[in-house]
Structure 1
Amino acid sequence: MISYEARYQFVYFVLSGIVAGIIIALVYISIQDTTNEHRAEEVMKIQQTLTFLKPKKEWNYNNTWQFIGDPYYRQQVYSAYFDPRTELYNPSDFDSNYIYYGSIRVFAVLPLRLQAPIICSIKYEDTFIKQVKAYEAFPMNEHENMKFSGYTIMCPLRLRRGAAIVNLPESVAIIYTANPLSEEVPTYVSISYSKENVLAKPNKTLAVCVGPLQQRYSQVLRLVEFIEIYRLLGADKFYFFRLDVSPEIDKVLGYYERAKMAEVHEWNFYGYQFEVEVHYAGIMVELNECVYRATFVDGYRYVAVVDLDEILVPLKCNTLLDYLRGAEDGRTSAFVFRNVFFFKKGPNDTMSMPRGVQNRFLYTQVKVKRTFLPLPPHVRSKCIVNGRTTIEMGNHRVWRQLEGISETNVHIKEGLMFHYREKCTGCRADPLIVDFTARRFGSIIWDQVDEVCEKVFQNGICPMD
């Protein structure tokens, strides 16, 4: 019979062994983390020593939806971007012979439940083609479980250690066995590069991305007011994606394009039943492609992702730039502004309207009653993102960011998202308060809107709808 003392010693040795095993495992994990961190730092340092040669071609940075393989499958690709962030790779994938120096980010619409692995067919200027397995390829969030989804595809780029010059590829195609013609007749998309040094970190200030303009959008005055108030708030570049708009909207967009304040890209996204087969005209692809365009082509540090009836308003600063400069800590992927509603059908307050104004309905100036309680973060909230740290953007939040980076929920005393709409959730049940914050610019916003409307339309009046 085993004595009590022997049993005690047995339990002691077992527990000691378990503790020792845990300590060894923790030490191993710590060593691995340290090793991985050193590998990542080493690759970033090597990347800085390389000479990058972009293909010698004329770049117009315009994209269009193109079918992949057989059009019957309705699988399409839109754009591709060179992404210099080596932080996207798992450092354990680095080896002694090769280093990853960047990647190609491809945006496409594919079946939600696509099972086939995706191969990236990367073409160089000398017609050399290299095929590599996609490092990651998966449906974007917010696909609403529909038949088709936006896809974000990361194609790895690597070179042998010791090389000094990198000849960057010209175009890329994605191929997969579920669509045989994708390999037989690949659809190549030009890769967009930074207009400056491909490794240059974004140094411009604030750009604005807007969801697809569709359903014969015709609210001209709202569009002009939207652009002009965001200009007063610090934005200097706007990106629009045109699916279906009125001729009057086209005139306004053309004016801002000529003034170098806006880019308008065709969004020829046809052949689907919206909200049945694919969510909201492919908006997830559009928003992500826009953030990558603003960040990795035009060099903007911050990108506001909003709709035309949404204004991100700082409450203690005059401009969004002033707020961002004070709030940025280097560890933030997005500043999330919580939603309050202004009821568009409510009465107008015209007390602040200057005399002689031609365009007499600016919704940010005549709608002054709003819901008192902001909705929670990620419920109709909108963001200003740091594109350099963002991997996947959503409609109301950032879904993925670099490791160690996180969102910041803007305090409701420091900023809110003013949402002007007819369907105003809570406007009839919750108490409303009067808020004159959007009038901070006085007559300037009225003057700027009138000036634009006079330049675009002979009678100086911007149509309201």
Structure 2
Amino acid sequence: MIQRKFALLVGIGALTVLLMLRWEHTITLVNLMSSKRPATEPKLSKDTITPIPGSRHLMVSAFKDHRLGGAIKVISIIFRQELQPLYCVLCANAKADANFDAKADGALGQCTSLRARVHLHRDGYGFGFGIGFGFPFVTSDVLCMSPMLQQATHVSITANLYANLTFLSIQNQEVKESLRYNFTVCISNLFGEYNNALQFAQTMELYKLIGVQKVVIYNTSCGPDVEKILKYYRKEGMLEVVPWPIDKFLTPSTGWSYDLHHGDIHYYGQLTTLNECIYRYMYQSKYLLLNDIDEIIMPYKHANLEKLMGTLQQQHPNAGVFMIENHIFPKTQFDDSGRFRLPRWRSVPGVNILEHVYREPDRKHMFNPTKLLINPRSVLQTSVHFTLKQFGLVFNVPFDVCRIIHVRVPLQGQLSKDQLFVDKKLWEFEKLLIPSIDRALNESGVL
């Protein structure tokens, strides 16, 4: 009998230890970070990219995901070859914790540490070749869930619980029904001293005319003229520029293929910024347009985006993801009339998209890439050309209803002008567009 009781007690003790190791332990900030050493005082990150202690991983931003039971999702960049255990440290603002005697503004109170769950975003387009495939650093979700601290306001991810920690503010604390914007454009990256000022200004003014209220752009580097344009639109209130110094932490690839372009991470972290933008504007914008700076998602059967989406949502009420076909307008082919070859724009660096009205035909037997117009509250993860995880249905918008005007180098450079289609959709906005472009170029100081 005594042996049985002893064995039972040993079993209960072992089980208790296993449960403690498996789940979590609650500790105060004083225990976690000694106030005797200034270097270990709580640090709140003001950067958009923050190293994760004890690893080569990086954390970007943190959000409460109410669709996942209030889990804290930290958008991160994970070095896939070192998948060591990671831990979340969740803390509440001291003002929200009556039991914590805060001696400094912004102090963090009761904290909880627990094992994090790491979800690497899968690679690939899903139609024969990969986006981000093979790169050692990959966009990931680091998930934290603690029933003991639902009021968490800050989080840090670490591989070493005793390291000096930097905390991220947890955004999206509340579900909001009233949204500030109807349509927001997420532009993933500017890099390589990008200085295509004329096309940038033309695109911004076109988006205003079709109903976009906000544009978000992640900036690694740009040229002096684009910098002036960015300042102009930021002051105007239409543009949010998110600093994206990815090149300070990794060697970014300048392309999508690891075999061709090499580097640590796909295309300056494009996949990370697109996912970050979805969560950043989840409760700010009704819809998000996910595309590049040289692309315009343009309605063809409706006067603007609001009317387009009113029709599409009525016809497809269960869809939250709308895939828009990409169509190439070669910047090597010009309108013969010279109608928009305006002398005052010649000194502005960049492409004049109004001059490029010839569209390449679809390539037979090849997939036509798409970009996305989404309800952000329907999407958990995205890639460049399609969503990876979403709620609800995905709808492919017919080419004649809405398509992307993509002015760039040709994909079918062997075609002559008479083998291309004439598409003058942008000219329909001439009366309002030209004066607004001139105003932007003048007031920004580019002209």
- Contact persistence 1:69–1:183 (CA under 8 A): no
1:144-159 matches, cutoff 5 A: 144-158=133-147
1:330 and 1:135 mapped to 2: Cα distance? 33
1:266 and 1:245 mapped to 2: Cα distance? 11
- Contact persistence 1:135–1:156 (CA under 8 A): no
* CA positional deviation for 1:378: 7.1
1:313 is the counterpart of 2:289 = no
* CA positional deviation for 1:273: 2.2
2:377 aligned counterpart, secondary structure: helix
CA RMSD of aligned residues (A): 2.6
1:94-243 matches, cutoff 5 A: 100=69, 102-126=70-94, 127-135=109-117, 137-141=119-123, 142-158=131-147, 168-176=151-159, 180=160, 183-193=162-172, 198-201=174-177, 203=179, 204-243=181-220
- Taking a change above 3 Å as real, the CA distance of residues 61 and 114 of structure 1, as seen in their structure-2 partners, is closer
Give, as a single letter, the amino acid of the residue that structure 2 aligns with 1:201: E
1:365 aligned counterpart, secondary structure: helix
* CA positional deviation for 1:83: 2.1
2:345 aligned counterpart, secondary structure: coil
* CA positional deviation for 1:362: 6.4
* CA positional deviation for 1:428: 2.4
TM-score by length of 1: 0.72
The total of aligned residue pairs comes to 365
Give, as a single letter, the amino acid of the residue that structure 2 aligns with 1:190: S
Deviates more, 1:300-309 or 1:368-377: 368-377
- Out of 332, 338, 350, the residue aligned to residue 319 of structure 2 is 332
- Out of 35, 48, 53, the residue aligned to residue 64 of structure 1 is 48
Question: Any idea what the Cα deviations from partners look like across 1:317-359, whole Å, max 9, x if unmatched?
Answer: 11122111110133223211111111101123455439x7733
Give, as a single letter, the amino acid of the residue that structure 2 aligns with 1:252: I
2:296 and 2:196 mapped to 1: Cα distance? 16
- Taking a change above 3 Å as real, the CA distance of residues 202 and 115 of structure 1, as seen in their structure-2 partners, is farther
2:364 and 2:383 mapped to 1: Cα distance? 17
* CA positional deviation for 1:79: 0.8
- Contact persistence 1:143–1:150 (CA under 8 A): no
2:414 aligned counterpart, secondary structure: coil
- Taking a change above 3 Å as real, the CA distance of residues 112 and 245 of structure 1, as seen in their structure-2 partners, is same
- Taking a change above 3 Å as real, the CA distance of residues 229 and 349 of structure 1, as seen in their structure-2 partners, is farther
Q: Where does the alignment leave 5 or more consecutive residues of structure 2 unmatched?
A: 1-43, 95-108, 124-130, 254-262
Q: Where does the alignment leave 5 or more consecutive residues of structure 1 unmatched?
A: 1-59, 89-99, 160-165
- Out of 425, 447, 450, the residue aligned to residue 435 of structure 2 is 447
- Taking a change above 3 Å as real, the CA distance of residues 437 and 331 of structure 1, as seen in their structure-2 partners, is same
Question: Any idea what the Cα deviations from partners look like across 1:254-279, whole Å, max 9, x if unmatched?
Answer: 11111111111111212322222211
- Contact persistence 1:79–1:108 (CA under 8 A): yes
* CA positional deviation for 1:136: 5.1
- Taking a change above 3 Å as real, the CA distance of residues 357 and 429 of structure 1, as seen in their structure-2 partners, is closer
2:414 and 2:335 mapped to 1: Cα distance? 17
1:84 is the counterpart of 2:63 = no
2:214 and 2:132 mapped to 1: Cα distance? 28
1:305-454 matches, cutoff 5 A: 305-328=290-313, 329-350=316-337, 352-353=339-340, 358-359=344-345, 363-373=352-362, 379-402=368-391, 405-422=392-409, 424-429=410-415, 431-454=419-442
2:53 aligned counterpart, secondary structure: coil
* CA positional deviation for 1:135: 4.9
Indicate the percent of aligned positions where both proteins have the same amino acid.
22
1:273 is the counterpart of 2:231 = no
* CA positional deviation for 1:249: 1.8
2:279 aligned counterpart, secondary structure: helix
- Contact persistence 2:196–2:351 (CA under 8 A): no
- Out of 284, 292, 297, the residue aligned to residue 271 of structure 2 is 284
